[in-house]
Amino acid sequence: MRFRNFLFAAFLLTACSSNGVDTDLLEHNWDAILAEYRTDGVSVYYNETARVNLALAEKGLLAEKAFAYTQAGSGGIVPEWAQDYQSGALLAEIYYSMGHIAMAQRMAFETMVLCKGSRDEYMMKILVKTNLIYGAHEVAEKYLKLLKDKEFVHKYSSFVHNDEAVSADPELGLKRRCIPTRDFLSTARGLDEDLKDIIKANPEHRNTIQYLGIMYLLDNEIDNFCELMDRFYGTPAMPELPSAFAQAACMISELRPSYWKQLGVDRSVFREYENFLGRLQNGLNMDRYKDTYWYYLMKIGN
């Protein structure tokens, strides 16, 4: 095990003390998370990969830059909950980023319970936001009274019993519109079906479709990816195709002729795919393609 991974594994076992909190994650230091991530092809843990994918999503770059980082399948998007604080906090942040407010709230609450009597500021902040989003103002107010962060309390107290302000807020309003008319709590039908409902409810929440599309590509679920593109490309949910999806469209064109044209991929991207195939067939160095979906498939296929 690499030394850095050993430290990370030990770090995951830490309880709720301030010394064990992943401050880059919980204080949303996305640039720091990206800067510290290894991109040299070494093996990584799901939680590490999920952190970097979350950072990319929050910067609006998930479907542009995901394959510039070492990936680990869809488990590196939504890792399993290890019944510990760190993985629970990570999942709460991921679900919130996806626009899956119900699961974000559930994970924040269950993670806070793990603190066994201590008051966890980070998870309570998510609970304040999600309860405001749902219009549960009394519950949000209860958590605000327990928080020590005066700046946060001052800001979010202004939303209590003020639904108009919640709906008008750039963050809370955008997340509120992600709640489908057919509400759900768990991922009983499958996370992908939940995310499709969120996309339909709020096509402006671009993180949702980027997460779902990348999950399909990471697991090479091409039929599901094509169904997603056929359904949402050219709609407000996806008016333009991000880089990773364009690369996938080029590859899929071998099975569905001219699919890249159907999705409006620039001809220069398709030429790069042809160059990639040529170099692959001739056993040439492929390093120039290390940040592409094509290279990712080549590596997992070996």
pLDDT per residue, tens digit, the chain (302 aa), is 333 333 333 333 344 443 356 889 989 999 999 998 866 555 568 999 999 999 999 999 999 999 999 998 999 999 999 999 999 999 999 999 999 999 999 999 999 988 765 678 999 999 999 999 999 999 999 999 999 999 999 999 999 999 999 999 999 999 999 999 765 555 567 899 999 999 999 999 999 999 999 999 999 999 999 999 999 999 999 999 999 999 999 999 999 999 999 999 999 999 999 999 999 999 999 999 999 999 999 988 76
Contact status, residue 52 vs residue 197, Cβ threshold 8 Å: no
| Residue 115 pLDDT | 78
| Residue 205 pLDDT | 98
| Residue 9 pLDDT | 34
| Residue 189 pLDDT | 76
- Strands (DSSP E) contained in the chain are none
| Residue 72 pLDDT | 87
Residue 40's Cβ-side half-sphere holds a number of Cα atoms within 13 Å equal to 3
Which amino acid is it at 203? P
| Residue 188 pLDDT | 63
Classify 108 as helix, strand or coil.
helix
| Residue 10 pLDDT | 35
Which amino acid is it at 139? V
Burial, 57: exposed, middle or buried (Cβ in 10 Å; 0-12, 13-18, 19+)? Answer: buried
**60 to each of 56, 127, 172, 183, how far by Cα in Å?**
6, 24, 17, 26
| Residue 227 pLDDT | 97
